[in-house]
Amino acid sequence: MPQTAHGSRRRALLVAALGATALSALPRGARAEAASLKIGIIGTGRIGGALAEHWAKAGHALMISSRHPEQLKPLAVRLGPQVSVGTPEEAATFGEVLLISVPYGALPQVGRDYAAQMRGKVVLETGNPFPNRDGAMADAARAKGTGVASAEFLPGVRLVRAFTCVPHTAVQGEAHRSGERIGVPLAADDAGALKVAEQLVRDAGFDPVAVGGLARAKDFDVGTAVFGRAMAARELRQALGLVR
Ligand SMILES: NC(=O)c1ccc[n+]([C@@H]2O[C@H](COP(=O)([O-])OP(=O)(O)OC[C@H]3O[C@@H](n4cnc5c(N)ncnc54)[C@H](OP(=O)(O)O)[C@@H]3O)[C@@H](O)[C@H]2O)c1
């Protein structure tokens, strides 16, 4: 992929935010690569599939995954040569950054089964707990707040709650829209992970809105005034009390 000044700056920002350990873990060729990050996607459904498309267009190298990987081959072919297909475990191994976008009820199992592969990595997690789909754990997660609950299910990762409250139709169809872009609220305790997520939100065609630490994810959980809406970033900041 051609290296542009913008690409170099973007890569430098992402690498700085990922930290020296992640950089040294990359193969030499990948370190020299322009703005491309290696992103592993666990859960390539409506949200994960839409983000795969946006991030592939932005030049990132992706492994999309499924428990039935053969079903994703047509999508990978459509997205281009920098997109490969694997199992969730292979995607967790491949990514220097991971997206987890599975039904919330699957999060404890994902956290347990791929803990070794995910340890220390930046993980963007999109899940929302719905008791009718996810069972009683969803009530507990809602009571705690998803930032706190997801961190318990994903110990040892650099967690960011991201792409949780914009509907998939907007994630699919309103990326890079003209005028004010849709805001994507983010919550993270790790400043470097937040920076990576902010850049990936921009690369997907949206405007990042940093809300605060993981405990603040509650401010944009299911049932809040901003949930399920595609608000411009300015409107979102106002609704979340982030501007005076
Ligand atoms: N839809 C929305 O508008 C929206 C918006 C924001 C956030 N969310 C949240 O984001 C998450 C994903 O939503 P979605 O609408 O994209 O769901 P979806 O279309 O149903 O996709 C979920 C994907 O997760 C994979 N999956 C399920 N169980 C798994 C497991 N145990 N291990 C690995 N992969 C597993 C499935 O892939 P395979 O079956 O192929 O393995 C499926 O493709 C949900 O928690 C949802 O609440 C949804």
Q: What average pLDDT does range 20-49 have in this prediction? A: 69
Q: What average pLDDT does range 191-214 have in this prediction? A: 98
5-239 CATH choice from 3.30.2290.10, 3.20.20.140, 3.30.43.10, 3.40.50.720: 3.40.50.720
Domain ranges of the chain: 5-239
Report the residue among 68, 90, 101 best suited for mutation to probe ligand 1: largest number of ligand atoms under 8 A from its CB. 101
pLDDT at position 171 over 50: yes
Note the pLDDT of residue 244.
72
Q: Name which residue sits closest to atom 9 of ligand 1, judged by CA.
A: 127
* Whole-angstrom distance, CA of residue 74 vs CA of residue 49: 12
Q: Does the CB atom of residue 92 touch ligand 1 within 6 A?
A: no
How many helices (DSSP H) and strands (DSSP E) are in the chain?
14, 8
Of the candidates 196, 194, 165, the residue with the CA atom closest to the CA atom of residue 182? 165
Q: Does the CB atom of residue 45 touch ligand 1 within 6 A?
A: yes
Q: Does the CB atom of residue 46 touch ligand 1 within 6 A?
A: yes
Q: Which residue has the tokens 């990936």?
A: 200
Q: Does the CB atom of residue 19 touch ligand 1 within 6 A?
A: no
Residue 103's CB is within 10 A of a number of other CB atoms, namely 15
Report the residue among 54, 102, 114, 221 best suited for mutation to probe ligand 1: largest number of ligand atoms under 8 A from its CB. 102
Q: How far is CA 73 from CA 66, 70, 84, 104, 205, in A?
A: 10, 5, 8, 25, 25
**Residue 83: alpha-carbon gap to chain centroid:** 16
Strand partners, 99: 41, 124
Q: Does the CB atom of residue 65 touch ligand 1 within 6 A?
A: no
Q: How confident is the model at residue 79 (pLDDT cuts 50, 70, 90)?
A: very high
Q: Name which residue sits closest to atom 7 of ligand 1, judged by CA.
A: 164
Alpha helices in the chain (DSSP H): 5-18, 20-25, 28-32, 46-57, 73-79, 88-94, 107-113, 115-118, 131-134, 136-144, 146-153, 168-173, 191-204, 233-239
Q: Does the CB atom of residue 204 touch ligand 1 within 6 A?
A: no
Q: What average pLDDT does range 102-119 have in this prediction? A: 98
Q: What average pLDDT does range 44-56 have in this prediction? A: 98
pLDDT at position 21 over 80: no
Q: Does the CB atom of residue 109 touch ligand 1 within 6 A?
A: yes
Share of the chain above pLDDT 70, in %: 86
Is pTM beyond 0.85 here?
yes
Note the pLDDT of residue 26.
43
* Whole-angstrom distance, CA of residue 153 vs CA of residue 145: 13
Q: Does the CB atom of residue 104 touch ligand 1 within 6 A?
A: yes
Q: What are phi and psi for residue 110, nearest 5 degrees?
A: -60, -45
pLDDT at position 167 over 70: yes
Q: Which two tokens stand for residue 199?
A: 């850049």
Note the pLDDT of residue 109.
98
